[in-house]
Amino acid sequence: MHSIPMPTFFVRLFKVLIALLLPLVIVIGSVRLLVTDRYLAFEYSKIGFPPDRYGFDQAQRLAYASANFRYVREAQSPETMSEQQLGYAPLYNARELKHMQDVQNVYQAVWWVWQLAFSLVLLVGFALAWRRVTRPALYTALRWGGLLTAGIVGLIGGLAVVAWQLWFVAFHQVFFATGTWTFEYTDTLIRLFPEKFWFDAALTIAGISAAGGLAVALAGWRLQPRPAKMPVGAYIIPSRS
């Protein structure tokens, strides 16, 4: 019994869907790789990373920043942050606590988008891979989705390098309300995450995402079936009437 062929419309739709969703999957996945203790330790141990001028040593910085990341990553309760102490004083002031709640909300929403996009890519990719005749469409989608990812993050990363301040402000204006994300140099958030931290993080995410996109594009290109080559010396003898 022959399987029912997939309509051309759906093949094209699935191909476009994969190509458009891959940048989300790769970029958000790269962000998730950085919200970890390993990245914190790597960043803080860099030669030239600015020390805290107000007294945190590297071990304190790592401990407080790790708790900060867990709060965001694991959607912990606000009390997890507000109950942290520095001596007999709260570690974070009210503005910092409000901002961290906003960061947690944005991160959790973005992570939900990643899970949805990843699930759709797997589902649609499986649908195309199931039939031999539609597999080339999947390979094409991987190629174009990977190249689209590399192109987007290359552009964004380049803007971050040449106009960091403008890029940094624009990023926060997209995700946070005006006036809720600026702090004093003496505030804990700035002491844990100076501007150098975010510049390095932006370039690292761009680099991982671009490499991931190019790897996916290369995989799609390598998997694409090639037309059979005619053997050397082969020719067609014309028929005589």
Q: Largest Cα–Cα distance of the chain, in whole Å?
A: 104
Mean pLDDT of 9-18: 92
- Please say if the pLDDT value at position 241 is more than 50: no
Of residues 225 and 114, the one with the higher pLDDT is 114
Mean pLDDT of 59-69: 96
* pTM given for the model: 0.89
What pLDDT does residue 1 have? 44
What pLDDT does residue 181 have? 93
With a pLDDT cut of 90, the percent of the chain lying above it is 85
pLDDT tens per residue across span 132-147: 999 999 999 999 999 9
Mean pLDDT of 61-72: 96
Listed as own residue / partner, the contacts of 101-104 with beta carbons closer than 8 Å and 24 or more positions apart are: 102/176, 102/177, 102/180, 102/181, 103/72, 104/71, 104/72, 104/75, 104/76
Chain-centre distance of CA 235, in angstroms?
A: 52
Q: Which residue stretches of the chain are H helix?
A: 8-34, 37-44, 58-73, 79-82, 94-130, 135-162, 164-175, 188-192, 195-223
What pLDDT does residue 224 have? 83
What pLDDT does residue 239 have? 52
What pLDDT does residue 228 have? 57
Measured between alpha carbons, how far is residue 240 from residues 208, 237 in Å?
62, 9
Contact 11/127 with Cβ under 8 angstroms?
no
């003496």: which residue's tokens?
A: 186
